[in-house]
Structure 1
Amino acid sequence: MGDLTAPRTPQPWTAPTATDPVGTALRLPGSKSLTARALVLSALASGPSTLARPLRARDTELMAGALRGMGAHVSISDDARWLVRPHRLTGPTHVDVGLAGTVMRFVPPIAGLAEGRITFDGDPQARTRPLGPLIGALRTLGVRIDTPTGGSLPLTVSGTGQVTGGEVEIDASASSQLVSGLLLAAPRFDRGVVVRHVGPPVPSAPHLRMTVRLLRAAGAAVDDTTPDVWVVEPGPLTGRGWEIEPDLSGAVPFFAAALVTGGEVTLQGWPPRSTQPVEQLRELLHRMGGEVALTTDGLTVRGTGRVHGIDADLSDVSELTPVFTALAAVADSPSRLTGVAHIRGHETDRLTALATEFTALGADVTELADGLEIRPRPMRGAPFRTYHDHRMAHAAAVAGLVVAGVEVDDIGCTSKTMPEFPALWSAMVTGEN
């Protein structure tokens, strides 16, 4: 697969058009969110850990490299089983965050626990991603951080080997990762942490519940019974075996293909109980005309060939907005997708990017302050820019199923979370899997 963290050349790609209903059963790589959190908790534990079926992609390799650079032993040579042995955290080292929100928000709190100077920077677009609230919170908790630009990358953490911790207020309305980053490192802070969110609602709440669940699985004492308040007690974390679920966000384009073509897609290896927002996805796909079933074979989505428009608040599942925009563009009625103002601060301003690119294909898209209105119209082939954003590429692939000539400027950006995506997608459409 090569070095996924290295600079790469854009890879133009013509999205394949489906002539028949798709029918496939596939096993996708592990969840990016689960892999990142398991790596962090394993590096902070008191003993070794393993990750079974983790995600090998650019974001997770960058996370492994960051932890390795601070002294942890992280072996990712076996795709099916990664090994993490914690070690005393030290600097100096440089952390390349790439364009990964998990790396830029989860690793600075850990750097405060290291002895030495840890510098952070990443892709040019990473310097625009929201980081200021985390920087302010870490300073309040006793971490020394230097930021030439104020509230964004690049930054330098001068670690002393310990973080005092305590109580802190933070506005995490731009990303739930701002809270998760603090919580994951908090058991190693002298006083733990009490995090109080102040501001508009925190988006992607299921990801915060995932963070809390994994912390408890590693032995941390966490109280999240009070809304917008998280209390983590200081204490040791236990090394353990982590079973990484398939990535739900990565599966959504394939499920969308079932709806668009009237086909059937099964995600194999799906667990009976999940830390990912499968129920929210099930409801949304059902409202758009799909049938969703969880059986011993996996998670299956069937389509009828008709897609219905919806009015939906996607604040809990904002990662799905690009693919649901593509579904809305081929639906039989208008859609209104709201609650996702914060995705303007993701890999790109996703709302503006989606409105621009789907308008270029011929759809009628109106950009809202916190979402999009989509009125379906006949679309035509045209160039489709990804803006280095893997989710934009997923949206283009879904549109290309029914619109010939969707020319994606760089399908290689999907290596951020699923390097196998182009091959898996083409095999699904052609029936060669």
Structure 2
Amino acid sequence: MNESADTRAIPCVSRLRGEVAVPGSKSVTHRALILAALAHEECVIENALDAEDTRVTAQSLRRLGVGIHWQGSRICVRPAPHRWVFSPEPMFLNNSGTSLRLLMGLAAVGRGTFLFDGSARLRQRPVGPLADALKPLGVNVRFLGHGSCPPLELQTNGLLAGETLVDASESSQYLSSVLMAATQAQGPVLVRWKDPVASFPYVTITLSMMAEVGLEFFQVEPRAIRVPAPQRLSGFRLEVEGDCSSASYFWAASALTHGDVLTYPLSPSTLQGDCRFLDVLRTMGCSIRWEDRGVRVRGPDRLQPVHVDMNAMPDMVPTLGVVCAFADGPCTITNVAHLRIKESDRLHAVATELQRLGVSVEQYPDGLRIQGPPQRGDAITTYNDHRMAMAFAVLGLRVPGTTIRGASAVAKSFPGFWTALNDLVQQSRKENA
């Protein structure tokens, strides 16, 4: 798609009012696919997110011999005849870091040599700490390019019993990958980890899902879990909850436009760490109310400045950065150095694009200081990063002349985003007429 065809002009709106149905959770869908592939009987995943990243995981599982039948938001997963089918061609994972990390653990429980590769950006995203964690369990990872990044070759004769230490300071997915894989090792595995763990709520999601499908584990120390193995995982049916990350753009849009927006299906009992973004918005002055179907966010007349540690929900930083640009004072975002190895260097990207609009931004190694408001509209570069595209689309609702270059990046996690945003704008115009 050429640049002009992949550019979206964002309409301004005085007050957003309406309802938005959000897709299934990306993080839960990824984990459900991995757990289903480890099962010994057919599994069914309902309300799965159908997006680029989850399709990458599903297609890679097919390459490994897993049966995947995807119809709408329902996926039937059949176990592979053996673990796993070897291919001389690498599994191409595009720019899905989640797919890479979780599939490395999955491949480790098989036997053979497995090759992983991806886009130019994925080749800049390190997985050395995961390779280090798999090594004491008998898995050898050889990096074929620059540094501890793809392309890589993983050699295994099955995951051995034993003990390993995971450094998950860059990504909680290293720890989630080892924990799920450990259930299929040749004997029990003691998984230890260092502090800090980036985005630890995602580990909580992993453990909750493991328990839900019947896998056992025991927390024996504050930073150690013993996993009995090998465990036979029976078939299961799992329903994926709505994605708080996708909903967050509409929460932010309501905050910026003094709006009144309901997002559903969502539950206050969710384990998704990004749901905590609601607490930040409440601190900034938003009204938050849980209802039967989901959560309603009402924006204030004036947004209060915040100073917040975002380590537990780093994916929310581009969205928060946009909201902070309209606060009544300087805001600071801290403890998110690991954002520099996401789909883009998100700290640099957010700072650069806000500065393009006349917002004062100071960039630190692990955060940002933001003082708005925006002075003008302009064409926003997305860096092929879905979260940049959606966050700055929200900003455009308040800043005339904002366009999003690389708008199709949203397909990575929320293919229906532009339709949902347009429908909400149209609902609002009717309500406000």
TM tier, smaller: over 0.9
Is contact 2:12–2:399 with CA below 8 Å preserved after alignment? Answer: no
- Residues 61, 279 of structure 1: CA spacing in aligned structure 2 closer, same or farther, 3 A cutoff? closer
Q: Does 1:183 align with 2:176?
A: no
Is contact 2:133–2:164 with CA below 8 Å preserved after alignment? Answer: yes
Spell out, residue by residue over 1:155-195, the C-alpha distance to the aligned partner (whole angstroms, 9 max, x if none). 112343x2114211122100101111111111001124222
Correspondences of 1:130-209 after superposition (within 5 Å): 130-149=126-145, 150-160=147-157, 162-198=158-194, 200-209=195-204
Correspondences of 1:7-46 after superposition (within 5 Å): 11-46=5-40
Spell out, residue by residue over 1:392-429, the C-alpha distance to the aligned partner (whole angstroms, 9 max, x if none). 11221111111111222101011000111112112212
Which letter does structure 2 place at the counterpart of 1:171? D
Correspondences of 1:23-422 after superposition (within 5 Å): 23-76=17-70, 78-87=71-80, 88-93=82-87, 94-149=90-145, 150-160=147-157, 162-198=158-194, 200-224=195-219, 226-234=221-229, 235-277=231-273, 280-422=276-418
Give the stretch that moved more between structures: 358-367 or 13-22: 13-22
Alpha-carbon distance in 1 for matches of 2:334, 2:226: 30
Alpha-carbon distance in 1 for matches of 2:134, 2:330: 44
Which letter does structure 1 place at the counterpart of 2:73? A
SS at match of 1:35: helix
Alpha-carbon distance in 1 for matches of 2:320, 2:333: 8
Is contact 1:260–1:327 with CA below 8 Å preserved after alignment? Answer: yes
Displacement after TM superposition at 1:205 (Å): 1.1
Which letter does structure 2 place at the counterpart of 1:48? E
- Normalised to the residue count of structure 1, the TM-score between the two structures is 0.94
Which letter does structure 1 place at the counterpart of 2:388? M
Alpha-carbon distance in 1 for matches of 2:52, 2:374: 36
SS at match of 2:383: coil
Give the stretch that moved more between structures: 275-284 or 413-422: 275-284
Displacement after TM superposition at 1:227 (Å): 2.6
Alpha-carbon distance in 2 for matches of 1:278, 1:170: 23
Alpha-carbon distance in 1 for matches of 2:274, 2:96: 23
Alpha-carbon distance in 1 for matches of 2:278, 2:253: 15
Alpha-carbon distance in 1 for matches of 2:410, 2:402: 16
Gaps of 5+ in 2: none
Aligned length: 423
Which letter does structure 1 place at the counterpart of 2:120? P
Which letter does structure 2 place at the counterpart of 1:181? S
Give the stretch that moved more between structures: 258-267 or 187-196: 187-196
SS at match of 1:315: coil
Displacement after TM superposition at 1:306 (Å): 2.3
Displacement after TM superposition at 1:278 (Å): 6.0
Is contact 1:196–1:229 with CA below 8 Å preserved after alignment? Answer: yes
SS at match of 1:307: coil
Displacement after TM superposition at 1:331 (Å): 1.3
Alpha-carbon distance in 2 for matches of 1:370, 1:227: 26
Displacement after TM superposition at 1:15 (Å): 4.0
Alpha-carbon distance in 2 for matches of 1:301, 1:401: 16
Spell out, residue by residue over 1:311-337, the C-alpha distance to the aligned partner (whole angstroms, 9 max, x if none). 111111111000000000011111001
Displacement after TM superposition at 1:223 (Å): 2.3
SS at match of 1:216: helix
Is contact 1:35–1:55 with CA below 8 Å preserved after alignment? Answer: yes
Which letter does structure 1 place at the counterpart of 2:228? E
Which letter does structure 2 place at the counterpart of 1:19? V
Alpha-carbon distance in 2 for matches of 1:253, 1:47: 38
Map of 1:3 onto structure 2: none
- Residues 230, 130 of structure 1: CA spacing in aligned structure 2 closer, same or farther, 3 A cutoff? farther
Which letter does structure 1 place at the counterpart of 2:348? T
Alpha-carbon distance in 2 for matches of 1:293, 1:166: 47
- Normalised to the residue count of structure 2, the TM-score between the two structures is 0.94
- Residues 9, 364 of structure 1: CA spacing in aligned structure 2 closer, same or farther, 3 A cutoff? same
Is contact 2:274–2:315 with CA below 8 Å preserved after alignment? Answer: no
Is contact 2:38–2:79 with CA below 8 Å preserved after alignment? Answer: yes
Displacement after TM superposition at 1:145 (Å): 2.2
Is contact 1:18–1:430 with CA below 8 Å preserved after alignment? Answer: no
Alpha-carbon distance in 2 for matches of 1:143, 1:99: 24
SS at match of 2:225: strand
Spell out, residue by residue over 1:264-322, the C-alpha distance to the aligned partner (whole angstroms, 9 max, x if none). 11112223521213662221110111111111131111112422210111111111000
SS at match of 1:188: coil
Is contact 1:49–1:84 with CA below 8 Å preserved after alignment? Answer: yes
Is contact 1:259–1:304 with CA below 8 Å preserved after alignment? Answer: yes
- Residues 191, 69 of structure 1: CA spacing in aligned structure 2 closer, same or farther, 3 A cutoff? same
RMSD: 1.7
Which letter does structure 2 place at the counterpart of 1:177? Q
Alpha-carbon distance in 2 for matches of 1:400, 1:354: 14
Is contact 2:170–2:197 with CA below 8 Å preserved after alignment? Answer: yes
Alpha-carbon distance in 2 for matches of 1:50, 1:275: 21
Alpha-carbon distance in 1 for matches of 2:318, 2:141: 34
- Residues 138, 364 of structure 1: CA spacing in aligned structure 2 closer, same or farther, 3 A cutoff? same
Which letter does structure 1 place at the counterpart of 2:27? S
Alpha-carbon distance in 2 for matches of 1:305, 1:14: 28
SS at match of 1:312: strand
Which letter does structure 1 place at the counterpart of 2:50? R
SS at match of 2:369: strand
